[in-house]
Amino acid sequence: TQALVWFRQDLRIKDNPALANANQIGNVLPVYIFDDTVPEEGSMGGASRWFLHHALESLNKALDNKLLIFKGDPKEIIPSLCKSAQCQHVFWNRMYEPWAISRDSIIKTTLKSMDINATSSNGSLLWEPMSVLKKDGTPYKVYTPFYKNGCLKQAPPRYPVNTHHTKFAESSVEFPDLARLTISDLQLLPKIKWDEKFYEMWDVSENGAQDKLAHFITSSIDNYDEQRNIPSVEGTSLLSPYLHFGLISPNQTWYAVVDAFEGIDSAKERKGVGVYLSELGWREFSYYLLFHFNHIQRENFNSKFNIFPWKNDTQSKQDLTAWQTGNTGIPIVDAGMRELYKTGYMHNRVRMIVGSFLVKNLLIDWRRGERWFWDCLVDADTASNAAGWQWVAGSGADAAPFFRIFNPILQGEKFDKQGEYVKTYCPELSNLPNKYIHKPWDAPPIILAEAGITLGEDYPHPIADLSATRKRALDAYSSIKKAV
Ligand code: FAD
């Protein structure tokens, strides 16, 4: 007997519950389908497609080239594959995007009508959203009680499962009704070569994910609670794209950390570990919110923001372009936006700074920022991206209040004291003394001349007056408070 395993956002062999379950049945037929029926909001952006290409290559290699690849509508392809390969059992790990939930339930119904067993498992969350509810049966809306009372008081997360002895079926099965593709046929790589730096940053493989985790545990986790806010140091695990595409599971991550620090009493180390695990908790919370309030990707969680006076005039279109291309004239913002474009990643602290600048100083709808991140991030994730943007905008569940407006100069001076991060991504500012690195417009002409900078030529003048736009944002916020 053969069992079909449908790989989706779980592109790994280790700790893969679908694979472990299929293993009990017989030989496994591994399948990946590039679903071209995904609605626009879920359709992968450029950076994600790059990551997916390499993740599939790595999985296929680990499977001795046995991965069967198709493109089209899984609602038709899965039943057709089962028929051709005479599979009575199909396994997959659950996804939580609303469109994926409805697609998968249609497929389950179709398979049932064909007398085929379809089994789904939890392969990407520590605690599934449907199992965490308040005492009154309603979902949590605030992170701390969700994590502390809802998650940590439940049974601990599942320990990673063993998939060592899986036997994969030979890939010679014929599928008369379906075109079997290669990974290159999916045309996931960009036509314009903007991805050179991606290769330096990401070893896209299961081993690459394990190496990042091991490196983080040995060198950074002790100081994580302090260093995670400093964008110029590698103080975080950089696991987000691997977690998104499932090259590593949160369970592997959780237990690697917990087991490594078992019995260690040092308060400092324990703090780093606790804060790191609670960040994995934020990932859970994002999925939780998407599951229970699935409008959050496109609509404000807090409907009060539906009448917010976002700007959408010619000027704001120019501002959006300046923001996207890292040319706002505010160094920490520009460094962040350039990091994003070059590497497919942006440090979390800087995501908050650039987000606040877009939404509050430029008064541009958070959805514009969400879409740009969606296209440029290798870790673009429906749940975490929407939750992150709504947190920044103040419209989300348990979000930063709108009136707390980041001052990008102070943020830069606090978290990038020596300006190292800015200098990495805005090298034209490298010769500016630290005192002015976060506000070049304040530097006397002689200093600018010595640093070889002509503002407006080598580096832009700021596109926004920070204090005037701060006041404008607060006035806009007052207008919606009054209206409701
Ligand atoms: P670490 O600090 O090492 O954290 C470990 C893991 O915990 C991360 O890999 C991630 O899975 C999870 N995590 C950490 N912080 C958060 C958080 N605030 N929310 C949810 N999960 C978190 N994260 C994404 O994975 N995809 C996104 O599309 C995304 N968009 C964001 C947009 C905005 C505006 C903001 C403010 C945050 C966004 N985040 C997103 C969350 C966070 O910035 C990244 O998860 C983090 O920077 C990834 O780096 P890391 O793996 O080194 O994190």
Instruction: Quickly state the pLDDT bin for 484 (edges 50, 70, 90).
Output: low
The mean per-residue pLDDT over the stretch 322-341 comes to 98
Shortest-distance Cα residue to atom 20 of ligand 1: 283
Residues marked active site are found at: 279, 282, 310, 348, 366, 389
Phi, psi of 72 (to 5 degrees): 145, -145
| Fold: same for 2-123 and 303-483 | no
User: Is the CB of 279 inside a 6 Å radius of any atom of ligand 1?
Assistant: yes
Does 172 score more than 90 pLDDT? no
How large a percentage of the chain has pLDDT more than 70? 100
> Ligand 1 within 6 A of 9 CB?
no
Q: 222-260 pLDDT, tens per residue?
A: 999 999 999 999 999 999 999 999 999 999 999 999 999
- Does domain 125-158+206-292 fall under CATH 3.40.630.10? My reply is no
pLDDT of 43? 96
Round to whole Å and give the CA distance between 174 and 75. 19
Give the helix/strand (H/E) hosting 27.
strand 27-35
Amino acid at 271: K
Which residues touch 105 (CB under 8 Å, ≥6 apart)? none
* 357: helix, strand or coil: helix
Choose which residue among 282, 340, 348 to substitute to test ligand 1 binding: the one with the highest number of ligand atoms within 8 A of its C-beta.
348
Both tokens assigned to 28: 């496994």
Per-residue pLDDT at 158 exceeds 80 = yes
Answer whether residue 433 shows pLDDT above 90.
yes
Q: What percent of the chain lies above the pLDDT cut of 90?
A: 92
What local confidence, expressed as pLDDT, does residue 267 receive?
74
User: What pLDDT is attached to residue 274?
Assistant: 93
239 Cα–ligand 1 center, Å: 9
* Helices 74-85 + 98-113 axis angle, to 10: 30
In this prediction, residue 97 carries a pLDDT of 97
51-55, 153-157, 173-177, 425-429 — which is least confidently predicted? 173-177
Write down the domain spans for the chain: 2-123, 125-158+206-292, 303-483
Tell me what pLDDT residue 146 has: 98
> What distances in angstroms separate CA 445 from CA 45, 69, 98, 432, 437, one per listed residue?
42, 60, 55, 12, 14
Letter for the amino acid at 133? L
CATH topology of domain 2-123: Rossmann fold (3.40.50)
Residue tagged 């806009």 (tokens): 476
Q: Indicate the average pLDDT of the chain.
A: 96
Q: What is the pLDDT of residue 265?
A: 74
The CA 473 to ligand 1 mean position distance, Å, reads 26
* Residue 214 confidence (pLDDT): 98
Q: Which residue has the higher pLDDT, 165 or 290?
A: 290
151 CA to centre of ligand 1 in angstroms = 19
Lowest mean pLDDT among 263-267, 407-411, 454-458, 463-467: 263-267
Tens-digit pLDDT profile for residues 339-391: 999 999 999 999 999 999 999 999 999 999 999 999 999 999 999 999 999 99
The answer, yes or no, to whether residue 430 has pLDDT greater than 70, is yes
d(CA 342, CA 43) in angstroms, rounded, equals 21
Nearest atom of ligand 1 to the alpha carbon of 347: 47
pLDDT of residue 482: 76
> Does 173 score more than 80 pLDDT?
no
**262 CA distance to ligand 1 middle (Å):** 25
Domain 303-483 in CATH 1.10.579.10? The answer is yes
- Cβ atoms of 23 and 163 within 8 Å: the answer is yes
Which letter does DSSP use for residue 344 in this model?
S
Q: Is the beta carbon of 206 within 6 A of some atom in ligand 1? A: no
Atom of ligand 1 nearest to the CA of 216: 3
Q: Is the CB of 240 under 6 A from ligand 1?
A: yes
d(CA 304, CA 396): 11
Of ligand 1's listed atoms, the one at least distance from the Cα of 374 is 28
- Give the model's confidence band at 164: pLDDT under 50 very low, under 70 low, under 90 confident, else very high: confident
Q: Please name the residue whose Cα sits nearest to atom 17 of ligand 1.
A: 282
pLDDT digits (tens, 9 = 90+) for 294-323: 999 999 999 999 999 999 999 999 999 999
Mean pLDDT confidence for 72-92? 96
Is residue 483 over pLDDT 90?
no
């697609």: which residue's tokens? 103
